[in-house]
Structure 1
Amino acid sequence: MKAELRGNATTSIYLQNLSLFNTQQSSLSGALKGCLGSLDAACIEKLLLHCASALERNDVTLAQQVMWVLNNVASSTGDPNQRLTSWFLKALISRASRLCPTAVNFNGNGIVERRLMSVTELAVYVDLIPWHRFGYCAANSAIYRAIQGYSRVHILDFSITHCMQWPTLIDALAKRPEGPPSLKITVPSCRPPVPPLLNVTSEEIGLRLGNFAKFRDVPFEFIVLDDSPNASESDNPFHFESILSQLSSLDLNLADDEALVINCQNWVRYLCDEPNGVDSRDASLRDIFLDIIKALDPNLVILVDEDVDLCEPSLASRITTCFNYLWIPFDALETFLPKDSCQRLEYESDIGHKIENIIGFEGFQRIERLELGSKLVQRMKNAGFLSLPFGEETVSEVKSLLDEHASGWGMKREEDTLVLTWKGHNSVFATVWVPSNGYVN
Structure 2
Amino acid sequence: MNFTTIPLQNPSFFNNSQSSLAGALQGCIGSLDGACLEKLLLHCASALENNDVTLAQQVMWVLNNLASSNGDPNQRLTSWFLRALISRASRVCPNATNLHGGSNLERRLMSVTELAGYVDLIPWHRFGFCASNSVIYKAIEGQTKVHILDFSITHCMQWPTLIDAIAKRPEGPPSLRILVPSWRPQVPPLLNVSSEEVGQRLANFAKFRDVPFEFHVIEDLNYDMFLSQLNPSTLQIRDDEALVVNCQNWLRYLHDDEQIKGAISSRDIFLDRVKDLNPCIVTIVDEDCDLGNSTTLTSRIATCFNYLWIPFDALETFLPKDSKQRLDYEGDIGHKIENIIGFEGNQRIERLESCNKFSQRMENSGYMSVPFSEETIKEVKSLLDEHASGWGMKKEEHDMLVLTWKGHNSVYATAWVIVPTTPYGHE
Q: Which ranges in structure 2 are unaligned for 5 or more consecutive residues?
A: 1-6, 423-427
Partner of 2:409: 426
Partner of 1:32: 25
Deviation at 1:112, TM superposition (A): 7.2
Q: TM-score, normalised by structure 1?
A: 0.89
> Can you list the C-alpha shifts for 1:135-191, whole angstroms capped at 9, x where unaligned?
000000000011000001100000000000001100111111110100000000010
**Among candidates 96, 99, 107, match of residue 105 of structure 1:** 99
Partner of 1:284: 265
Contact 2:232 2:277 in 1 (8 A): no
Partner of 1:435: 418
Partner of 1:163: 156
What is the distance in 1 between the residues matched to 2:8 and 2:395?
A: 45
> Which stretches of structure 1, 4 residues or more, deviate above 2 A after TM superposition?
14-24, 99-102, 104-108, 111-114, 248-256
> Can you list the C-alpha shifts for 1:243-266, whole angstroms capped at 9, x where unaligned?
21211353644234x211000000
Deviation at 1:332, TM superposition (A): 0.1
Deviation at 1:241, TM superposition (A): 3.6
> Can you list the C-alpha shifts for 1:409-431, whole angstroms capped at 9, x where unaligned?
00000030000000000000000
Question: Any residues of structure 2 matched to 1:187-336 within 5 Å, and which?
Answer: 187-227=180-220, 239-248=222-231, 250=233, 252-256=236-240, 258-275=241-258, 280-311=261-292, 312-336=294-318
What is the distance in 1 between the residues matched to 2:12 and 2:361?
A: 47
Question: Any residues of structure 2 matched to 1:27-176 within 5 Å, and which?
Answer: 27-100=20-93, 103-106=97-100, 113-176=106-169
**Among candidates 359, 362, 368, match of residue 386 of structure 1:** 368
Deviation at 1:438, TM superposition (A): 4.4
Contact 2:203 2:213 in 1 (8 A): yes
Partner of 2:337: 355
What is the distance in 1 between the residues matched to 2:154 and 2:287?
A: 14
CA 1:105/1:386 → structure 2, altered by over 3 Å: closer, same or farther? same
Q: Which ranges in structure 1 are unaligned for 5 or more consecutive residues?
A: 1-13, 229-238
What is the number of residues matched between the two proteins?
A: 412
Secondary structure at the counterpart of residue 191 of structure 2: coil
> 426-435 vs 113-122, which deviates more?
113-122
Which residue identity is paired with 1:94?
Answer: S
Partner of 1:8: none
Secondary structure at the counterpart of residue 226 of structure 2: helix
Which residue identity is paired with 2:402?
Answer: V
Partner of 2:4: none
Q: TM-score, normalised by structure 2?
A: 0.92
Contact 2:89 2:99 in 1 (8 A): no
Deviation at 1:39, TM superposition (A): 3.3
Deviation at 1:19, TM superposition (A): 7.7
> Can you list the C-alpha shifts for 1:184-239, whole angstroms capped at 9, x where unaligned?
000000100000000001111111111110111100000111226xxxxxxxxxx3
What percentage of aligned pairs have identical amino acids? 73
What is the distance in 1 between the residues matched to 2:208 and 2:404?
A: 36
CA 1:68/1:386 → structure 2, altered by over 3 Å: closer, same or farther? same
Contact 1:60 1:103 in 2 (8 A): no
